[in-house]
Amino acid sequence: MVSLFYETVHSVNARDYSREQVEAWAALEDISERINLWKRSLNENLTFVVKVNDRIVGFADLTFKGYLNRLFVHKEYQRQGIASLLVDKLEREAKGLKLQAIETESSITAKVFFTHRGYVTVRQQTVERKGVNLTNFKMRKELSATSFHE
């Protein structure tokens, strides 16, 4: 999953972020540290993975408080419904937990995807990674009986 994250940021997100920003966000030298951190957090969260021929092509996770922490789809599997499948599942799980809303911090790249799914931009924000500023968007979706795609 960490490799998929790295490759996605360096290919897909590179359309909306500079090389310096991409390197700060997903640095090669951070992979081993990220693996250790993600093992814990992915096990603590609701985490779903999509595989094709035993290859991970997408994953997403949601905290039990309703924070959609990660959503990444392999560069070769973009625009095939994988992100929608994952978010549909997370939204159903969130409703089952009686959560009122899901919040996320969307990249510039994913903002249109989330907007089409009914997420509303709360604010644009700047986050700092390794001394480099990146723009993202705090987004929120209120959950109701009809708020997810089936």
* Backbone conformation region of residue 131, classed left if phi is above 0, alpha if psi is from -120 to 50, else beta: left
User: Minimal CA–CA distance to 45: which of 82, 80, 77, 1?
Assistant: 1
Quote the pTM value.
0.89
> What is residue 81's predicted lDDT score, i.e. its pLDDT?
95
For the chain, what is the mean pLDDT? 92
Quickly state the pLDDT bin for 145 (edges 50, 70, 90): low
> What is residue 150's predicted lDDT score, i.e. its pLDDT?
44
Collapsing DSSP to helix, strand or coil, 29 comes out as helix
Does pLDDT of 72 surpass 70? Answer: yes
Q: Would you state the torsion angle of the CA atoms of residues 53, 57, 61, 67, taken in this order, to the nearest 10 degrees? A: -160
Does pLDDT of 148 surpass 70? Answer: no
Quickly state the pLDDT bin for 64 (edges 50, 70, 90): very high
User: For 21-40, what is the mean pLDDT?
Assistant: 88
The pLDDT tens digits of the residues spanning 74-124 come to: 999 999 999 999 999 999 999 999 999 999 999 999 999 999 999 999 999
The pLDDT tens digits of the residues spanning 36-59 come to: 889 889 999 999 999 999 999 999
The Cα 47–Cα 60 span in angstroms is 6
